[in-house]
Chain A
């Protein structure tokens, strides 16, 4: 296992279309995070899973966004009815459950462009 894997790396979509991104975390990491990063900004938190439970969601995660982690392993992030403002890098990260304070490891991200 070489790290957090995200697919696709790049996605170009037309406004109004739905898109889905996949994240495969590091094996045995039970914590999984989704972040969004736009140019010149730091990563902004979207949502957090512990195993299959979605425990925290940012107010940035509008009702057009949904994330799942059905078996506590991989996760998907879906954006419905995409808007140009959704164009960003979507980052996934994972960390082990213990110790509580430990670093998160990031994938290479999915670059979304909405045209």
Chain B
């Protein structure tokens, strides 16, 4: 049973446009959500996070939106750059932070 879902295995966008990556979760105990970026042969790199008490968190070109009632979050990248091409993982944890549950990832390709 997959508790964190990323239903789009891949996404292609043009450079300069917006990239929107989606994530759904099923466990209502999750209250902290994170996005990681991963290049081949490297470990995941933390991008941005959001607590369940917020519905939006912004950091430069990256914004994460959380809709608790729908158990849905999304990552917006504006403007997209070729260097953003990577696999993006959504992750979630509960208040104890003992276990980050990851989705299967979405491969983003930003085309020049």
**Interface bin, chain B:** 20 to 34
Shortest distance between the CB of A16 and any CB in chain B (Å): 27
CB pair B95–A108 under 8 Å, yes or no, is no
- Please report the number of residue pairs spanning A and B whose Cβ atoms sit closer than 8 angstroms: 67
Q: Does B102 contact A (CB under 8 A)?
A: yes
A109→B42 CA distance, assembly (Å): 7
30 contacts between A and B (CB under 8 A): A33-B99, A33-B100, A35-B102, A41-B105, A42-B4, A42-B6, A42-B103, A42-B104, A42-B105, A43-B102, A45-B100, A48-B98, A48-B99, A55-B98, A56-B98, A91-B44, A93-B100, A95-B97, A100-B97, A101-B49, A102-B97, A103-B34, A104-B100, A106-B44, A106-B45, A106-B46, A107-B43, A108-B41, A108-B42, A111-B41
Closest 4 pairs between A and B when the two form their complex, measured CB to CB: A42-B102, A106-B43, A101-B32, A103-B46
